[in-house]
Amino acid sequence: MSTILEKIAAIESEMARTQKNKATAGHLGLLKARLAKLRRELITPKGGGGGTGEGFDVAKTGDARIGFVGFPSVGKSTLLSNLAGVYSEVAAYEFTTLTTVPGCIKYKGAKIQLLDLPGIIEGAKDGKGRGRQVIAVARTCSLIFIVLDVLKPLQHKKLIEHELEGFGLRLNKNPPNIVFRKKDKGGINLQCMVQQSELDLDTVKTILSEYRIHNADITLRYDATSDDLIDVIEGNRIYVPCIYLLNKIDQISIEELDIIYKIPHCVPISAHHKWNFDDLLERMWQYLQLVRIYTKPKGQLPDYEAPVVLHSERLSIEDFCNKLHRTIAKEFK
């Protein structure tokens, strides 16, 4: 494992030393591709699977799943206890929570599972402090709450984003609009719909040769970066919406609170005093993009108590049938 970490460190230091200009673009693209491959080896180590550890992943229930990610002692467990009424151990020392603690809330008729994950530390993506299991559970969530301490939010935010990005999670981003098709012969064919500032044919060939791909069709539909291209080639990236919760707002002034409210994707709260939970739940509903569908028996009024909840991008009749029971779609006229 240390050799992979050493290789990653060597490549990162070389990237930091390299000047960014047109002449070095190809070289930087190559280094980024190597880095992505090494990161993937870290995520899925070669060889047999080890022991599973003490039950980290929790069975998925409800209509959506939200993970709380953050450094130790920022108030994740307090938030879970006060939102879901589930007791997750709270104490004044770090790493109180050692495994995933699940909770469930009902909001607007939808059941939403909340997961209080152990705190992650710097270097979590390299496997420090159970970080890898924590981020692996975070990858299965439909929304991530990054809980930050309002007194030191920005450096923590950068660090956590860096850890999650290194593990193949992309927060509040859309998948790159790049078409990538492998083929058997014919070389690399690059089509650009718009003027590209970073990628050209040589850079694309350099990146692809690192993956031993010599025949492919690539269409770039916007001004893409080499990172976007690598994400598409790797194909294991997960695009998750994310809300930053700035906790402990009882410790700052009103003026500071007004400034904080202008930060995008941010909700200031106080988990201990239960302040601003309604705004948080409303924002959560907006980011989850859930749709409630009410069923109506023949000749009766619709049942407004128990809606069927689907995601706004998956709204076909088939999805609706699968949500009720797998067999319905097969017997469907």
Instruction: Taking residues 198-203, report their average pLDDT.
Output: 80
**What is the CB neighbour count within 10 angstroms for residue 151?**
13
51: confidence class by pLDDT, cuts 50, 70, 90: very low
Q: What is the mean pLDDT of the chain?
A: 78
pLDDT at 91: 60
Instruction: Taking residues 30-36, report their average pLDDT.
Output: 82
pLDDT at 35: 81
pLDDT at 153: 64
Residue by residue, DSSP assigns 105-149 as: EEETTEEEEEEEPPP--TTGGGTGGGHHHHHHHHTT-SEEEEEEE
Lowest model confidence (mean pLDDT) among 41-55, 126-140, 232-246: 41-55
Assess whether pLDDT exceeds 50 at residue 50: no
Q: Based on the number of CB atoms within 10 Å of its own CB, is 169 exposed (0-12), middle (13-18) or buried (19 or more)?
A: buried
pLDDT in tens, 183-197: 888 888 888 888 888
Q: What is the CA radius of gyration of the chain?
A: 23
Residue by residue, DSSP assigns 273-326 as: TTBTHHHHHHHHHHHHTEEEE----TTS----SS-EEEETT--SHHHHHHHH-H
pLDDT in tens, 259-310: 877 878 888 888 778 787 888 888 888 888 888 888 878 888 877 777 788 8
Let me know: does 217 contact 185? Beta carbons within 8 Å: no
pLDDT in tens, 68-91: 887 777 777 777 777 777 766 666
The whole-angstrom separation of Cα 287 and Cα 240 is: 10
The whole-angstrom separation of Cα 102 and Cα 130 is: 18
pLDDT at 104: 83
